[in-house]
Structure 1
Amino acid sequence: MKTIKIEGSLRKDLGKSATKEVRRAGNIPAVIYGVDTIVHFAAPALAFRDLIYTGDFHKVDISVDGKNYEAILKEVQFHPVTDKVIHVDFQLLVEGRKLITHIPVRLKGIPVGVKTGGKLITKLRKVKVKAVPADLVDELTIDVTPLKLGKSIKVASIDAGNLEILNSPTIPVASVEIPRALRSSQSKQAQADEADTEEGTEEVASGEEEAKAAE
């Protein structure tokens, strides 16, 4: 699993004025939360970029005044107007202690339904899991190759290894939907087939009536 390194400095003054000054200096205030540990620090905004603006899952090695902490991203707060990052929360990783987080789900393969004209739609991009730090992974994959037209594949089909998935097993992860044009074409074909069947039935009935009249 890829680890992102962040170097920061300890924050002792947590007042509003001090926090504004941190941001004015181009830094972002952050907190590491542990069972018996809370560490307030600040680091350059650039240090958070690869961690926040990605759909990938990473562990984070945070160095604060020479002391190292292994953590994962917990929450990011954005400014409501500028959309800039204004605060970041981390969860401290403790060996052997389970935690809850979200892991990305990647789709693998080309569905059978896509090859017959369908469109693959992703329904769920991340799953909520419970695990010890040693079992955390970058992503979970699910094979969508057998997925047929109009069908979906659910959370229950994900091989999570040692992770415990907390989402309902019945939640769809992906589906192959029938495009409108294909649905219209199928409808017209069905109507044509029905018309042919009715015409054939009428011809048989007409033939039977003619045979009876001849008798």
Structure 2
Amino acid sequence: MDEDNKVIADERDTFGKGAARKIRAAGKIPAVLYGHGTDPQHLTLPGHQVSLLIRKANAVLDLQVAGKSQLALVKDVQKDPVRQIIEHLDLIVVKRGEKVQVEVPVHLEGEPFAGTIADLDAHTLLLEVEATSIPERVVLSVEGLEEGTQILAGAVELPAGATLLDDEDLLVVNVHVPQKVDLGEEPEEAAEGEEAAEGAEAAAEGEEAAAESTE
């Protein structure tokens, strides 16, 4: 584990919205730790440090609680929808060497064949990996891939030690030529059409007037 993942956590015995507001006002984050048959443990975490750590998907924190070390996987992050402030964290107890199931983001590299685009249909893959070796992302190269190329989950090269739990036939990447959008007549063509119509209308009016004058 990275030393930077060490987080000093304080146990707390105050609960409810009022207590949580006071914790956040002090620059800290309320959290609950559970799993492995243990009773839920309510904690207070340092806000700034943890906010930086959980920018990475599936972050594992090395919690220092009452002088003891406990690994914890960040399972859920609750944020204020407007201010995007972290309101609460759900943490799961994990142990070294233990396998966990996590959704790992898929990242595309390279450019497909000229004139085509590579659509990412599956933004994450469900993998089983060691709790202390969770990959940050799965990288897929689309360099030079031609129209009609499809990459299925079963063909994706996974990080060492990872096992795919998604269906092998899950479509991950689809390379295709983008459809052209018909925007109708070009502005200049439309203007020319209007001018021609106005000219024809004026000519018709002139002929009508001439015919009336000869009657």
Shared fold, TM over 0.5: yes
Hey, what's the Cα distance between the residues in 1 that align with 2:166 and 2:12? 37
Count of residue correspondences: 179
Shift of 1:29: 0.3
* Structure 1 position 22, deviation (Å): 1.4
Matches within 5 A, 1:81-100: 81-100=82-101
Contact 1:102 1:129 (C-alpha < 8 Å) held by counterparts: yes
Runs of 4+ in 1 over 4 A off after TM superposition: none
2:198 corresponds in structure 1 to none
Quote the residue 1:196 is aligned against: none
SS at match of 2:175: strand
> How does the TM-score come out when normalised to structure 1?
0.70
2:169 partner letter:
T
Aligned to 2:149: 151
What letter matches 1:7 in structure 2?
Answer: I
Aligned partners of 1:130 and 1:165 also within 8 Å: yes
Confirm or deny that 1:19 pairs with 2:17.
Answer: no
Match of 2:46 among 35, 39, 44: 44
Structure 1 gap ranges (5+):
185-215
How many Å apart are 1:42 and its aligned residue?
0.9
Aligned to 2:74: 73
RMSD: 2.7
User: Matches of 1:91 and 1:24 in 2, distance apart?
Assistant: 25
Greater Rg, structure 1 or structure 2? 2
* Residue in structure 2 matched with residue 142 of structure 1 by the alignment: 140
> Which structure has more helix as a fraction of its residues?
1
Question: Which whole-Å CA distance do the structure 2 matches of 1:157 and 1:144 have between them?
Answer: 13
- Name the counterpart of 1:28: 29
Tell me the TM-score normalised to structure 2 length: 0.70
Deviations 1:31-76 (A, max 9, x none): 222213332111232122223334x443322222332221221100
Query: Deviation per CA, 1:94-140, whole angstroms, max 9, x where unpaired?
Result: 234332212222334433x2xx2112222222211223325533332
SS for the counterpart of 1:50 is: helix
Aligned AA for 2:147? L
Task: Give the structure 2 partner of residue 170 of structure 1.
Answer: 169
Is the Cα–Cα contact under 8 Å of residues 120 and 176 in structure 1 kept in the other structure?
yes
**Percentage identity across paired residues of the two chains:** 27
